[in-house]
Chains A and B, each alone.
Chain A
Amino acid sequence: MKKIVNLNVDQAAVDTTEHKYHRGRVHVHARSVMPEKQLFAEAEYKAQEAERIGFSEYSYWKSVMRNFLKNKGAVIMSVVFILLFIFTFVAAVIGKYDVHNLRIDNSLMFVSPNKEFWFGTDNLGRDYWSQVWYATRTSIILAVSVSAGQITLGVILGLLWGYVRQIDRLMTEIYNLIDNIPTIIYMTLIALMVGKTTLIMGVTMIGFGWLGTARNVRNLVVMYRDREYNLASRCLGTKLWRVLWKNIFPYLVSVIILRLALAIPGTIAYETTLTYLGLMDISTPSLGILLRNARSYFLDYPYLLVFPAAIVAMITITFYLVGNAFSDACDPRNHV
């Protein structure tokens, strides 16, 4: 070994011990009262200490909630939305007229909001308060269930479409077939041939609405499909559905939530369009029907448009904000 050291730059440095060059005696400010001798004694080696990991306990959903709650705007809007939905039930109780027993009374046409009719009356002299709140409830229920249906179907089909190579071609063709013809044509045909009840139109909207989500999910699945952890699952013989549910679905949560949040106002808008075109049954009041009705009179009686439009706007903004906030919170890159 000496020979090698001889290669060093400074011959003098080699001939003396290594300690000669240390920069004087360093004063030790140990916080403890340990005597110097013990300070420089060898410490016991603890394997556990070395293996310790840096981060604290972590829970995915806890972090999601913590991040979501940081977004004040989204939290306030979601509370307001929940209150609004509850109020649709309360409004029916405190209102003076029952929505199911409204009489047509020409003498009461276009009464502006007053103490008797809180939101005024419509063109047929019916109480507008009870109609607006009932319509809000119907629209929200319809929108939430249709959107949930679309997203569920879209996610399931999208997962299979992306992961199972054999059906990729088939699914792509089905997608092209449906997507290249405007949905409104299908809707018209079904409304005319099958019926226009809320149920039928709801199911039809689900039937044509999953495409976008499925396409989106499929593209993401293709990204994750050949990652090594999925190969590992294949080596372990994991069944298809378990790979999809455990390995791939969790990575899509933020995208799915964003799509769901945007689908709800989308469905309300679509329902309005359908009603406007007369493709929806008008016996149950919905926000779409009220808006359609108001369109003819709102220049003279703006309150007819203002109430339902304000509610639609509020729902849209709420879901937009909440969806964005929640999908950000779901993205693990924003955690830690």
Chain B
Amino acid sequence: MNENERTIQGTEEFDTINGVNFLAHAENTLSSSPILSAQDVEVQFTLRGKKLTAIRKCSLTLYEGETLAIVGESGSGKSVFTKCFVGMLDKNGSVTGGSIMYDGVDLAKFTTEKEWRTIRGKKIAMVTQDPMTSLNPLKKIGAQIQEAIELNQGLHGSAAKAEALRMLEAVGIPNPERRYNQYPHEFSGGMRQRVVIAIAVACRPQILICDEPTTALDVTIQAQILELIRKLQKELGMTIIYITHDLGVVANVADRVAVMYAGQIVEIGMVNEIFFDPWHPYTWALLSALPQLGIKGEKLPAIDGTPPNLFNKVVGDSFAPRNHHALNIDFLEEPPLFDVTPTHQVKTWLMDPRAPRMEQPDTIRRLSNHDMGSAQTSGIVHPHQLPDREPLIEVKDLQVSFGRGRKKFVAVDDVNFTIYRGETFALVGESGSGKTTIGRAIVRINPTTNGEILFKGKKINGKIDKKLDNEVIRSCQMIFQDPMASLNERAKVDYIVSEGIINHHMYKDQADRSEKVQRALEEVGLLPEFSSRFPHEFSGGQRQRIGIARSLIMQPEFIVADEPISALDVSIRAQVLNLLNDLKQTRGLTYLFIAHDLSVVRFISDRIAVIHKGKIVELAESEELFRHPLHPYTKALLSAVPNPNPYLERTKKLLVYDPSIHDYSTDKPVWCEILPDHFVYGNTAELAKYREEIGE
């Protein structure tokens, strides 16, 4: 992380970064002509007779050749807004106002599919989020690309095939001749997304809309896909709209950024203006809530509450109820767009000359001073460094496999670690690495095939007696990844939260039970009267907190948090992280925090274990791991971490991990404590190399 530690000297240094010239781009954007211009667009959906206004008079001008990123939380309308550029709104929705001018035509007036077909795919193409569902599983990859080419370019037969092969090569798929005849299931997620991109750009669109193109992918793959889109943009001269909730992606790719909230663009400006000089309180809050900017041991500045219900008419500034800097007028009148600079507009009353002068919050200043990471260490004593550290969970030679016989698949192999009381132990790895499997093995959902799991020195895997089983259930709880799937939709919050104490008869009477439920809800920051509601009435963050309340009511000592924030919006992540940290303090909880994002983990955890393909490759105290990563996989992961600072993000060097560099044929690898509390997996030769690295 040398890039992180670099101090910023002057401006010239940034003029040419990664072949992307900030200033040049900024000036180009101003001088280049608008390619698409949306004015006062309003989109309404009809749901069971009720009208939902998803886009409320939103205007946007897109300039030729630029990359515009639209950020916002789910439900802010960022997807819907761009879907009306290609006529892909759901059946119950329609553009009810405004105009979308493209090439002299008003797209908002289009009604028939025939009209749309002249634009969609040909002029404006779209890449969607999930590469698993956007390809037809029953058709060969080549045929799917060829179909797009034949439909939109008028090429046929061998000419179309040649073009398809050229496209496959252009999107970086090795061996296109062979890949042409394969089916989607033979491709990995990243490869599939490349194919989707190939189909989208096959007809040389002028505008490419990428709707969360990398959200479903691992960080290392994500960086490659972003690089690919950038390359194609330069080659084909496309204008790109990115829709994303990940500010790291925005920092990486965008020339301009639009921040959306409740169906409106609240702030729009050049990427450096949005990141270093934002003026809308919502943008402040979004940036401040990033765990990357957090200081360990301190609270993250979170945005409380939830976005407004767009079924109702929004009065005044839609962000006002959640805004700590709100003015009285925010509750009465909708603010107009104020210009900060010719390229930077903000929709907030704070910019009105009559409003009191506000200072940007400290975190924004920290971001603009490139002061990141360094602020995170503040002399905290981690529980594993205490002399009387008490092992709470010990995992020894753990192996978990699924299936048997020829179909046997070893998900976790030869895993060793100890979690001490009071610490947050993070387990980081890509999807499919087996991190969730380990978590579930500890709470006894997944059976183990080999090895031992000890809780307070007692073996808890395999067959155990009833009394210990009950004790383990009470003391070890789990928080799940997807708040939408982890709550029973057909039970009231009251039942969901009290399920555990009903099972273990941990209450005297009904009054005692409902009091316990209300106390648990209050503890996670929800109103006690929510107990009579059903889960679908809550937002993602609130649902996740209900899930936490369900675990807390059991008075656990140890909690497995399985990616508790990865399905949440940026603004809500901070709420949940703060809550977990608070509970750790007030209740002395110990966490196993499972994540795929190293940046989040750095803020919350004491120690980090990196897992790859079912094996833990490195384990160290978190700052130590960030300072001296040893294993090449850890280095690759660290290099790919998205950074919410455009300068640092664009200067970062990507490392690619190739497992074939390890030659374990003769020299078997071992799990070795190379420094006190710093473990790494490697063979003798590798360990010697690592020791040398430390010695430097």
B175 interface contact, C-beta 8 A: no
A8–B312 alpha-carbon span in the complex (Å)? 39
Q: Which residues of A contact B473 (CB under 8 A)?
A: 235-237
Contact B482 A228 (CB under 8 A): yes
B23 interface contact, C-beta 8 A: yes
A19–B504 alpha-carbon span in the complex (Å)? 62
A49 interface contact, C-beta 8 A: yes
Which chain B residues numbered 506 to 543 have a C-beta less than 8 Å away from chain A?
525-527, 530, 532-534, 536-539, 542
Given A1-B276, A50-B321, A231-B480, verify A7-B22 contact (CB < 8 Å): yes
Contact of B354 among A36, A334, A336 (CB under 8 A): A36
User: Of B345-353, B386-394, B576-584, which stretch is located at the interface?
Assistant: B345-353
Q: What 0/1 pattern do residues 589 to 615 of B give for CB contact below 8 A with A?
A: 000000000000000000000000000
Contact of A60 among B47, B488, B534 (CB under 8 A): B534
A30 interface contact, C-beta 8 A: yes
Q: What 0/1 pattern do residues 297 to 317 of B give for CB contact below 8 A with A?
A: 000000011101101100000
User: Of A37-45, A125-133, A189-197, A269-277, which stretch is located at the interface?
Assistant: A37-45
B30 interface contact, C-beta 8 A: yes
Q: Which residues of B contact A9 (CB under 8 A)?
A: 23, 26-27, 30, 270, 341-343
Given A4-B368, A228-B485, A246-B491, verify A58-B537 contact (CB < 8 Å): yes
Contact A38 B338 (CB under 8 A): no
Tell me the smallest distance from the CB of B538 to a CB of chain A, in Å: 6
Tell me the smallest distance from the CB of B361 to a CB of chain A, in Å: 13
A4–B10 alpha-carbon span in the complex (Å)? 9
Please report the number of residue pairs spanning A and B whose Cβ atoms sit closer than 8 angstroms: 221
Contact B503 A237 (CB under 8 A): yes
Q: Which residues of B contact A43 (CB under 8 A)?
A: 320, 326-328, 330-331
B490 interface contact, C-beta 8 A: yes
Contact of B478 among A34, A40, A232, A246 (CB under 8 A): A232
Tell me the smallest distance from the CB of B583 to a CB of chain A, in Å: 17
B445 interface contact, C-beta 8 A: yes
Considering the complex, give the chain A residue whose CB is closest to the CB of B29: A9
Contact B339 A22 (CB under 8 A): yes
A31 interface contact, C-beta 8 A: yes
A36–B336 alpha-carbon span in the complex (Å)? 16
Q: Which residues of A contact B10 (CB under 8 A)?
A: 3
Contact B14 A49 (CB under 8 A): no
Given A40-B328, A51-B305, A229-B486, verify A21-B504 contact (CB < 8 Å): no
Which chain A residues numbered 289 to 336 have a C-beta less than 8 Å away from chain B?
332, 334-336
Given A40-B356, A42-B326, A43-B326, verify A50-B305 contact (CB < 8 Å): yes
Given A25-B353, A39-B328, A54-B306, verify A229-B443 contact (CB < 8 Å): no
Q: Which residues of A contact B533 (CB under 8 A)?
A: 53, 57-58
Contact of A236 among B272, B279, B550 (CB under 8 A): B550
A234 interface contact, C-beta 8 A: yes
Contact of A45 among B326, B470, B536, B542 (CB under 8 A): B326
Q: Which residues of A contact B443 (CB under 8 A)?
A: 235
Interface size on B, residues (CB 8 A): 97
Tell me the smallest distance from the CB of B343 to a CB of chain A, in Å: 6
Q: Which residues of B contact A26 (CB under 8 A)?
A: 336, 352
Tell me the smallest distance from the CB of A85 to a CB of chain B, in Å: 31
Q: Which residues of B contact A55 (CB under 8 A)?
A: 309, 536-537
Considering the complex, give the chain B residue whose CB is closest to the CB of A46: B321
B109 interface contact, C-beta 8 A: no
Contact A5 B534 (CB under 8 A): no
Contact B369 A1 (CB under 8 A): yes
Q: Which residues of A contact B624 (CB under 8 A)?
A: none
Contact B547 A232 (CB under 8 A): yes
A48–B522 alpha-carbon span in the complex (Å)? 12
A52–B537 alpha-carbon span in the complex (Å)? 11
Contact B480 A53 (CB under 8 A): no
Q: Which residues of B contact A335 (CB under 8 A)?
A: 48
A151–B288 alpha-carbon span in the complex (Å)? 56
Considering the complex, give the chain A residue whose CB is closest to the CB of B560: A235
Q: Which residues of A contact B532 (CB under 8 A)?
A: 57
- Residue in A41, A232, A242 whose Cβ sees the most chain B Cβ within 10 Å: A232
Considering the complex, give the chain B residue whose CB is closest to the CB of A53: B537
Considering the complex, give the chain B residue whose CB is closest to the CB of A49: B321
A227–B482 alpha-carbon span in the complex (Å)? 10
Considering the complex, give the chain B residue whose CB is closest to the CB of A6: B11
Q: Which residues of B contact A336 (CB under 8 A)?
A: 47-48
Q: Which residues of A contact B332 (CB under 8 A)?
A: 30-32, 34, 39
Contact A238 B503 (CB under 8 A): yes
B499 interface contact, C-beta 8 A: yes
Tell me the smallest distance from the CB of B466 to a CB of chain A, in Å: 10
Q: Which residues of A contact B277 (CB under 8 A)?
A: 1, 4-5, 8
A229–B550 alpha-carbon span in the complex (Å)? 11
Tell me the smallest distance from the CB of A8 to a CB of chain B, in Å: 6
Contact B481 A23 (CB under 8 A): no
Tell me the smallest distance from the CB of B440 to a CB of chain A, in Å: 8
A29 interface contact, C-beta 8 A: yes
B675 interface contact, C-beta 8 A: no
B688 interface contact, C-beta 8 A: no
A156–B440 alpha-carbon span in the complex (Å)? 29
Q: What 0/1 pattern do residues 12 to 53 of B give for CB contact below 8 A with A?
A: 001000000011001100100000000000000001100000
Q: What 0/1 pattern do residues 458 to 491 of B give for CB contact below 8 A with A?
A: 0000000000011001101110111001111111
A251 interface contact, C-beta 8 A: yes
Contact A42 B339 (CB under 8 A): no
Tell me the smallest distance from the CB of A119 to a CB of chain B, in Å: 47
Which chain A residues numbered 109 to 164 have a C-beta less than 8 Å away from chain B?
none
B365 interface contact, C-beta 8 A: yes
Tell me the smallest distance from the CB of B32 to a CB of chain A, in Å: 13
Contact of A23 among B308, B333, B336, B495 (CB under 8 A): B336
Q: Which residues of A contact B105 (CB under 8 A)?
A: none
Contact A236 B327 (CB under 8 A): no
A317–B334 alpha-carbon span in the complex (Å)? 56
Contact A8 B341 (CB under 8 A): yes
A231–B539 alpha-carbon span in the complex (Å)? 21
A245–B21 alpha-carbon span in the complex (Å)? 62
Contact B30 A52 (CB under 8 A): no
Given A26-B352, A51-B306, A237-B473, verify A41-B554 contact (CB < 8 Å): no
Given A50-B304, A235-B473, verify A39-B327 contact (CB < 8 Å): yes
A73 interface contact, C-beta 8 A: no
Given A1-B365, A43-B330, A51-B305, verify A236-B338 contact (CB < 8 Å): no
A14–B490 alpha-carbon span in the complex (Å)? 56
Contact of A1 among B326, B341, B368, B474 (CB under 8 A): B368
Contact B339 A21 (CB under 8 A): yes
Contact A7 B14 (CB under 8 A): yes
Q: Which residues of B contact A28 (CB under 8 A)?
A: 329, 333
Q: Which residues of B contact A54 (CB under 8 A)?
A: 306, 308-309, 311-312, 537
A156–B626 alpha-carbon span in the complex (Å)? 55
A47 interface contact, C-beta 8 A: yes
B322 interface contact, C-beta 8 A: yes
A10 interface contact, C-beta 8 A: yes
A163–B536 alpha-carbon span in the complex (Å)? 25
B1 interface contact, C-beta 8 A: no
Tell me the smallest distance from the CB of B5 to a CB of chain A, in Å: 18
Given A39-B329, A52-B321, verify A228-B480 contact (CB < 8 Å): yes
B355 interface contact, C-beta 8 A: yes
Complex A-B: 23 CB contacts under 8 Å = A1-B276, A4-B277, A10-B342, A18-B340, A19-B351, A22-B338, A23-B336, A26-B336, A30-B332, A38-B328, A39-B328, A40-B328, A42-B325, A42-B326, A42-B328, A45-B326, A50-B322, A53-B542, A58-B534, A58-B537, A228-B482, A236-B499, A237-B474
Pairs A-B, 9 closest by C-beta atoms: A50-B305, A54-B309, A250-B490, A13-B341, A21-B339, A228-B486, A236-B500, A237-B473, A39-B329
A contacts, CB < 8 Å to B: 1, 3-10, 13-14, 18-19, 21-23, 25-26, 28-32, 34, 36-43, 45-55, 57-58, 60, 227-229, 231-239, 242, 246-247, 250-251, 332, 334-336
